[in-house]
């Protein structure tokens, strides 16, 4: 049975810039960049006029200024953007409870069960775009397909202010002419390996002999080939409208080459995320690792172990395993940014397993109490202590 095209990927167009243009309409048509200036400042969002000069998200603002000296640079105002983001997600939930937010400005929806109320997926997508335009004053692009992967590529292809439906059975043909880096999951390192094989497009990747992919990319090769053919398992995971994730990130003053310091930073982040979970009496389903390599490639990796996650040790164990795999894949390059997050938050309902000690929970609560009373720096693990002459990670 062929799956219907009922997965939507909805993405607000240049969200931060679009919000700034609402209060500064005189800037419409000009290259506008939202991002902090300074030595380590990066671009959060660039208008489509600015993108014509080669400016992209996560690029240093210093480089953006070189590419387009006449661009208007605006520091982010997240407090101003937040209400619009909440309204955006609220609009989506009026059409289906199966909404999986990805960030403040994008989400996946499964509208297979909404047809009797709102019509077929294409009609739902048009209604969502109209509501966003009328109620928030900005535009959104939507991709529709039978799975998340193709819906995401379709929404990117539809930008800005567009809508694209990929009928079931046409996924491979849609992806085939697109450049390799348009396929989610292909980072710089993987793209370099494939380019070395003469592969330039997603279709050429799909046509490569499987033995070649396995030899060059190991276990990742067969999965990547399936994705290149538009085959991707996994549906939309509905998440509640309340806070959906907790995370910590750290950007290093200089790109960090030391595995020891990177893991120490990750451990500190695991501690803080676990404390936030405990304060909220929540548990997590998925651990997410975020890494940024020079020049400015950002990747995320996640792991869902199938049980509730509560404590720093288990968050760190999952995140450090993800880190080692991703770091090896990228040739152990120095790291510019590292982050640990958790998603799939729910009320704590985990029972102690046979032989499991209650000590981690008691220790965690004791650390929380000490930090709340005396400050964050009152107690640290030895691994968190900086080497001589280094600043501690935050």
pLDDT in tens, 196-240: 999 999 999 999 998 898 888 887 888 889 999 999 887 887 766
Instruction: pLDDT band for 1, please (50, 70, 90 cuts).
Output: very low
Residues 166 and 177 in one domain: no
Are 252 and 338 in the same domain? Answer: yes
Average pLDDT, the chain: 85
C-alpha to C-alpha distance for 281 and 242, rounded to whole angstroms? 14
Q: What pLDDT, on the 0 to 100 scale, is given for residue 353? A: 46
Q: Residue 368: pLDDT above 80?
A: no
At residue 393, the pLDDT reads 46
Look at residue 237 and tell me if it is in a domain.
Answer: no
d(CA 100, CA 289): 18
| Residues 6 or more apart whose Cβ sits within 8 Å of residue 73 | 33, 34, 35, 37, 61, 64, 65
Helix or strand holding residue 33 (H, E)? strand 32-35
Residue 123's pLDDT is: 96
| Collapsed DSSP state (helix, strand, coil) of residue 76 | coil
Confidence (pLDDT) at 281: 77
* Domain containing residue 51: CATH number: 3.40.1170.60
180 and 163 part of one domain: no
* pLDDT score recorded for residue 55: 94
Same domain, yes or no: 71 and 135: no
Domain assignment of residue 236, yes or no: no
Convert the pLDDT of each residue in 109-122 to its tens digit.
999 988 889 999 99
245 or 171, which is more confident: 171
Check whether residue 261 and residue 368 sit in a common domain. Answer: yes
Lowest mean pLDDT among 31-45, 72-86, 90-104: 31-45
Instruction: Say what the pTM is.
Output: 0.67
Cα 252 to Cα 259: distance, rounded to the nearest angstrom: 13
Does 112 map to a domain? yes
**Alpha carbon separation from 289 to 246, 292, 322 (Å, rounded):** 12, 10, 7
The predicted structure's pLDDT at residue 315: 94
355 has a pLDDT exceeding 70: no
Sign of CA dihedral 138, 143, 148, 150: negative
**Cα dihedral: 46, 176, 179, 289 (round 10):** 70
Using CA of residue 212, residue 205, residue 100, residue 48, what is the dihedral sign? positive
Same domain, 259 and 349: yes
Residue 352 lies in a domain: yes
Instruction: Give the three-class secondary structure for 156.
Output: helix
Average pLDDT on 51-71 reads: 91
**Residue 294 burial (CB < 10 Å; 0-12/13-18/19+)?**
exposed
Mean pLDDT of 1-27: 90
- Whether 239 is covered by a domain: the verdict is no
Question: How many residues in the chain?
Answer: 394
CATH number of the structural domain spanning residue 219: 1.10.150.20
Low-confidence winner among 23-37, 161-175, 176-190 (lowest mean pLDDT): 176-190
Residues 341 and 279 placed together within one structural domain of the fold: yes
Q: Tell me: do 221 and 107 sit in the same domain.
A: no
- Give the per-residue pLDDT at 394: 46
137 vs 130: CA distance, rounded Å: 10
**Spatial CB neighbours of 95, under 8 Å, sequence gap ≥ 6:** 109, 111, 114, 118, 124, 127, 128
Tell me if 162 sits within 8 A of 140, measured CB to CB: no
Domain count for the chain, please give it.
Answer: 4
Extract the tokens encoding 393.
Answer: 């990670």
Tell me, yes or no, whether 161 lies in a domain.
yes
**Same domain membership, residue 83 and residue 152:** yes
pLDDT of 171 strictly over 90: yes
The pLDDT value given to residue 378: 55
DSSP 65-115: HHH-TT-EEE---HHHHHHHHHHHHHHHHTT-S-EEEEETTEEEEE-GGGH
How far is Cα 336 from Cα 255, in angstroms, rounded to an integer?
5
**Domain endpoint, select from 228, 260, 295:** 228
Tell me how far apart the alpha carbons of residues 281 and 349 are, in angstroms, rounded to a whole number: 10
Q: Would you state the pLDDT for residue 360?
A: 57
Omega before residue 160 within 30° of 0, cis: yes
Return the CATH number at 147.
Answer: 3.30.70.270
- Does residue 274 sit within a domain? yes
Q: Name the residue range of residue 54's domain.
A: 21-77
State which of 77, 97, 113 marks the end of a domain.
Answer: 77
Q: What would the mean pLDDT of 73-98 be, rounded to a whole number?
A: 92
341 and 280 in one domain? yes
Residue 394 belongs to a domain: no
* pLDDT at 267 exceeding the cut of 80: yes
pLDDT of 352: 45
CA distance 232 to 146: 9
Burial of 42 (0-12, 13-18, 19+ CB in 10 A): buried
Choice between 100 and 203, residue whose per-residue pLDDT is larger: 203
- In a shared domain, residues 220 and 257: no
pLDDT given at position 386: 57
Question: How far apart are the C-alpha atoms of 35 and 86, rounded to whole Å?
Answer: 21
| Residues that are catalytic | 106
Do 126 and 210 lie in one domain? The reply is no
Token output for 131: 């509501």
């Amino acid at each position: 049975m062929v799956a219907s095209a009922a997965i939507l990927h909805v993405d607000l167009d240049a969200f931060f810039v679009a919000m700034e243009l609402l209060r500064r309409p005189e800037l419409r048509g000009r290259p506008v960049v939202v991002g902090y200036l300074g030595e380590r400042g990066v671009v959060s969002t660039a208008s489509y006029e600015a993108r014509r000069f080669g400016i992209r998200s996560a690029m240093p603002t210093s480089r953006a200024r070189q590419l387009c000296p006449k661009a208007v640079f605006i520091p982010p105002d997240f407090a101003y953007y937040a209400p619009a983001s909440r309204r955006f997600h609220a609009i989506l939930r009026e059409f289906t409870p199966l909404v999986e937010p990805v960030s403040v400005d994008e989400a996946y929806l499964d509208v297979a069960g909404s047809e009797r109320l709102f019509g077929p997926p294409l009609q739902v997508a048009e209604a969502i775009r109209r509501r966003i335009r009328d109620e928030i004053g900005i535009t959104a692009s939507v991709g529709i397909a039978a799975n998340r992967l193709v819906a995401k590529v379709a929404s990117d292809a539809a930008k800005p202010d567009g809508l694209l439906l990929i009928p079931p059975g046409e996924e491979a043909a849609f992806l085939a002419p697109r450049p390799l880096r348009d396929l989610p999951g292909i980072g710089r390192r993987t793209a370099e390996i494939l380019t070395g094989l003469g592969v330039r497009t997603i279709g050429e990747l799909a046509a490569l002999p499987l033995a070649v992919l396995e030899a060059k990319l190991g276990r990742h090769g067969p999965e990547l080939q399936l994705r290149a053919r538009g085959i991707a398992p996994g549906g939309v995971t509905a998440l509640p409208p309340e806070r959906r994730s907790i995370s910590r990130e750290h950007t290093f003053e200089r790109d960090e080459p030391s595995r020891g310091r990177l893991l120490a930073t990750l451990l500190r982040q695991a501690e803080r995320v676990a404390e936030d979970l405990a304060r909220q009496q929540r548990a997590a389903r998925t651990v997410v690792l975020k890494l940024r390599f020079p020049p400015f490639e950002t990747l995320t990796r996640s792991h869902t172990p199938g049980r509730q996650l509560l404590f720093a040790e288990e968050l760190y164990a999952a995140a450090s395993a993800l880190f080692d795999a991703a770091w090896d894949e990228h040739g152990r390059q120095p790291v510019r940014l590292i982050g640990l997050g958790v998603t799939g938050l729910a009320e704590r309902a985990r029972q102690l397993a046979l032989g499991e000690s209650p000590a981690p929970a008691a220790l965690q609560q004791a650390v929380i109490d000490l930090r709340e009373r005396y400050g964050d720096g009152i107690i640290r693990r030895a691994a968190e202590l900086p080497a001589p002459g280094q600043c501690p990670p935050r």
